[in-house]
Amino acid sequence: MMAKLALITGATSGIGKATAQVFAANGIDLIICGRRVERLEALKNELADKVNIHALQFDVRNTCEVANAIGSLPATFQNIAILVNNAGNAIGLSPIQEGEIADWDYMIDTNVKGLLYVSKAVIAGMVERKTGHIVNISSIAGKEVYANGNVYCASKHAVDAITKGMRIDLYKHGIKVTSINPGMVETEFSMVRFKGDEKSAAKVYEGVTPLTAQDIADAILYSVSRPSHVQIADLTILASAQGSASEVFRNV
């Protein structure tokens, strides 16, 4: 694959980390972003012998941190060809009347506003160069609403709408925009959602073979490696035991 430069948010775990590893294996230089410095450095050290790699530590929810971090990139890491907006979270699984405002703020600030902040900082260069590819990691929750998913589903529906809007606004500048919508993927996602309750988190995958972060990373690589005339607009990926966001066959 021709050498390109990709910026990946949420690169310290799960889909983001797997995507960095898959990209590196295919010769794509990397800017890995996240909040956890130790994990960023470990990933950087792991991949440094394969590609050129730079680490940025910031919180996508903080517009000043985003602008300052991306603005600090050395010249050799400024021509970003691929942006993977992966940073996101789901916190809490309560009916709307019992939801916690802090959880709502966290999801909206990360999943929606954080995506916008990072995109704003990167898109200008893509427009100037008349080329680029933005991959937004959404969710089956951006296509369907399920019980107790309320605000998380709303945030991912927003990502779906923003992605469509990006595509309409940016295609004339030579920029592709892809939405990747995973179903059940086994990552740290459930631990975060259940606020560290290991027993509840484990039940999510009970009797099911879920998708892996590698599965989604492979789909992202496929999307960004198509010929110039091909744009993968929207890709939903489910585990074979999953019929919809809430219908799962469990072999128990």
List active site positions. 152
Report the 3 state secondary structure along 209-231.
CCECHHHHHHHHHHHHCCCCCCC
CA proximity to 70, closest of 80, 61, 85: 80
Taking residue 37's Cβ as centre, other Cβ atoms within 10 Å add up to: 11
Contact 88, 10 (CB under 8 A): yes
CA proximity to 136, closest of 171, 85, 181, 175: 85
CA distance 222 to 137: 14
